[in-house]
């Protein structure tokens, strides 16, 4: 089944859906994939988007696309694993005004079971996927508490709550993300800070295309089809579909929702084997 992302030029900045007018949203890992889709979708819904990424040029590309379509965005080079760098970045953003929402998306993948995971592999995955989320939440909460509340959305994965082959370190890190989400939601109820997470199944991102090109040269289309049909619904998710759920969870319409892990899995969790 052929799939493709929906570029910003095919959308409108007069979206009739959930709105984020007047709100400042920080999106980590916003230079590509799911993070980019979220940055674009949130901008179409009225948010001022701060794109944080370790890849400055790609972050600027995302911001340029948003700006050319009439949206508001800024790019900020930052290594989420460096707490001092994260704190400085968020303090600079806070000088411009309130941070309403943090979307913790920056992450890396790793393929391999326990015995194929080196100590360095394990440490690196946790450094980005767990410590990076911790650093950004810690920096954002300070601003949110001082301004009457906010929203935190963490990008987890179905790998964190169900058994996936050859994903030992990655699955473990995403399980930690889910646990952190529940903990922060509980601890900051009184501060009017909501915290949820999304657990997608396989999403068609540049990582998938790169993986297929590296490991299955000449067989990319065949293997893409196999991976797509391993989902009960018969295809991979598209980044803009993750962005749509993210928009709802970060909007005021979801103000009664906190401490929840939302599977976006095409039936993977409940319908496998049926």
Per DSSP, helices labelled H in the chain are 33-44, 56-68, 83-94, 119-126, 132-146, 168-187, 206-215, 220-229, 239-250, 268-271
**Alpha carbon distance 168, 135 (integer Å):** 23
CB 131 within 8 A of CB 120: no
Catalytically annotated residue among 170, 216, 248, 262: 170
170 is catalytic: yes
What are 19's two structure tokens?
A: 């709105």
List, in sequence order, every residue forming a beta bridge with 200; answer none if it has no partner: 264
CA proximity to 103, closest of 46, 18, 57, 37: 37
What are 11's two structure tokens?
A: 């959308």
Residue with tokens 């920080």: 26
By annotation, the residues acting in catalysis are 170
């Amino acid at each position: 089944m052929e799939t493709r992302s929906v570029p910003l030029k095919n959308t409108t900045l007069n979206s009739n859906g959930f709105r984020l007018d007047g709100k400042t949203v920080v999106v980590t890992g916003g230079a590509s994939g799911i993070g980019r889709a979220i940055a674009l979708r949130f901008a179409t819904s009225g948010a001022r988007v701060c794109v944080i990424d370790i890849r400055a040029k790609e972050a600027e590309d995302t911001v340029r696309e948003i700006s050319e379509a009439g949206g508001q965005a800024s790019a900020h080079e930052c290594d989420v694993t460096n707490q001092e760098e994260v704190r400085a970045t968020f303090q600079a953003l806070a000088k411009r005004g309130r941070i309403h929402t943090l979307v913790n998306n920056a992450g890396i993948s790793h393929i391999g079971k326990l015995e194929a995971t080196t100590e360095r592999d394990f440490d690196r995955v946790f450094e980005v996927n767990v410590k990076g989320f911790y650093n950004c939440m810690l920096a954002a909460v300070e601003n949110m508490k001082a301004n009457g509340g906010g929203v935190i959305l963490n990008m987890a994965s179905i790998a964190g709550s169900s058994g996936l082959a050859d994903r030992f370190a990655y699955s473990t890190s995403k399980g930690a993300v889910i646990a952190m989400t529940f903990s922060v939601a509980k601890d900051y109820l009184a501060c009017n800070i909501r915290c949820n997470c999304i657990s997608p199944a396989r999403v068609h991102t540049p990582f998938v295309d790169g993986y297929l090109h590296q490991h299955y040269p000449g067989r990319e289309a065949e293997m893409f089809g196999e991976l797509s049909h391993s989902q009960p619904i018969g295809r991979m998710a598209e980044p803009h579909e993750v962005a749509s759920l993210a928009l709802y969870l970060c909007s005021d319409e979801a103000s009664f929702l906190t401490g929840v892990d939302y599977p976006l899995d095409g039936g993977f969790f409940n319908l496998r084997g049926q």
